[in-house]
A and B are shown apart, each in its own frame.
Chain A
């Protein structure tokens, strides 16, 4: 497992400076003094109650981080990408990090209690903060639990724009996450490191899923083929990708071409040569997997 333990103190300092430029004096004073109290070891109820109360003080505006702030986030934790967070998410993360240096079992007991009784907004904040928390190797069951929910916004808090799954989930949990994203019709492109975590077993699961959908006369997302491409054998090329290439939708055809160009087998290479001008055109227009994902998402709205 990678060593991506964050410097909690440094993250807290950064979060405070981001809040400083966004909150009025009263709200800033509340969050700062609450955080200090928690660092000094306040009674348990102070954490639970202030964690819930954050939006009453901070509001719920989107963060809209500046380019410099985004770069700072990545510097503090590889892959940390909070630009879609709201200000209360940030405030809640600050308070969670303010108890994060407590003894491991004490911290985990409070964290788990907060997860169990969380409402949707609190759940989103907690799952988004996973990559910043201490003892990340011990949080995999919690992350998997978040992926089991049927609440899409909670699922997305784990799966989307979050480096935790790629860094810590094993292949089985990872594969379930990708397949479930397709089931709950949430896009794949915001999943970090989706290409580097592709694996043969996942490719087989995805192909089986596509067959199930086709048998029921249902469409499949063109994004499905993203994790299939590198493991597309002769059979998958012949039975599946060729079929997608003939789909009446341009987006599906483009997805098939991208998947074929990732495949190591001979038949795929031949198809790529046959469609080389189309592929060139796609490259010129920056049509890549992220484009396909975004376009499909937009078309489905």
Chain B
């Protein structure tokens, strides 16, 4: 992929809907860590039990599955805007959040924010910002697809109303229309490279050229839709080809996401520099990533110094 031996973080990707082939390709392309924000599942959940199992999966099995391919998996815990409109589900999910938000590998409350900008969305947005404030946690904001500019500004207003420090809030899915406001107000400004909808990587190159690299990072938000889990390394390659320096590419595709999320105390560089060796003979609750008598891959070599250096 991009440049040999470069490391990447995809700080927003829904691995629960991806295959093991994706994990292999991501590892191959240099992705060392991912963050899986809690989100909906393409169809609405009908009860809070489904939410409990989903949270358990993203802090449990999915972490294990990623580890089996040499990728460190983190997640965020939250009630998303779409499902905030089901009041009964929302109420019960709010009760679940404190039980998951401080678990190992949980880096933020998120992704939360607006979809239709309804009163119920606003109610649970408020409640979750308040929870983040009292639990002293980072927040990941999902900005809406429709009415994005107003939704983004309103989201930041709400954060400030709750006394959150912008340096502890990541505003995601930005575009050319929102970037200035978000940067100016001191928030982490994330962009999603998602085919056909959020951001294409040629546009991303132009944004980095125009706005620089401070507090800017990218992700794929790859999910169950037609999306690309290699969004980050592919964009890194394009940036290099279009004359952006390696140092700047490292910031946008690795370092800034790390700097933002390591504030949680749940994510640190050692997690992947000193990660356990891949051992696919292991199981999680008796379940393995292998099927049909496949030979387990067991990593033997010490990772070489070249693997960790980004020039």
Please list the residues of chain A having a beta carbon within 8 angstroms of any beta carbon in chain B.
44-45, 48-53, 55-56, 113-114, 116-117, 119-122, 149-151
Assuming the contacts A55-B104, A151-B285, asked whether A119 and B59 have C-beta atoms less than 8 A apart, the reply is yes
Please list the residues of chain B having a beta carbon within 8 angstroms of any beta carbon in chain A.
52, 55-56, 59-60, 96, 98-104, 106, 131, 134-135, 265-266, 284-287
Q: A49-B98, A56-B265 are in contact. List 13 more A-B contacts (CB 8 A).
A: A45-B98, A45-B131, A50-B102, A52-B100, A53-B102, A117-B56, A119-B59, A119-B104, A121-B104, A122-B103, A150-B285, A150-B287, A151-B286
Contact B99 A117 (CB under 8 A): yes
CB neighbours (8 Å) of B265 from chain A are: 56
Contact B103 A149 (CB under 8 A): no
Main secondary structure of the interface of A (DSSP, over half): helix
Contact A52 B103 (CB under 8 A): yes
CB neighbours (8 Å) of A120 from chain B are: 60
Contact B135 A150 (CB under 8 A): no
CA distance A56 to B106 in the complex (A): 11
CA distance A122 to B102 in the complex (A): 12
5 closest pairs, A vs B, by CB? A150-B286, A45-B98, A52-B102, A53-B102, A49-B102
Assuming the contacts A149-B285, A150-B286, asked whether A48 and B60 have C-beta atoms less than 8 A apart, the reply is no
A-B contacts, 26 of them at CB < 8 A, read A44-B98, A45-B134, A45-B135, A49-B101, A49-B102, A50-B102, A52-B99, A52-B100, A52-B101, A52-B102, A53-B102, A56-B104, A56-B266, A117-B55, A117-B99, A119-B60, A119-B103, A119-B104, A121-B104, A122-B103, A149-B285, A150-B285, A150-B286, A151-B284, A151-B285, A151-B286
CB neighbours (8 Å) of B100 from chain A are: 52, 117
CA distance A53 to B52 in the complex (A): 19
CA distance A48 to B97 in the complex (A): 9
CA distance A176 to B215 in the complex (A): 56
CA distance A152 to B286 in the complex (A): 8
CA distance A241 to B158 in the complex (A): 74
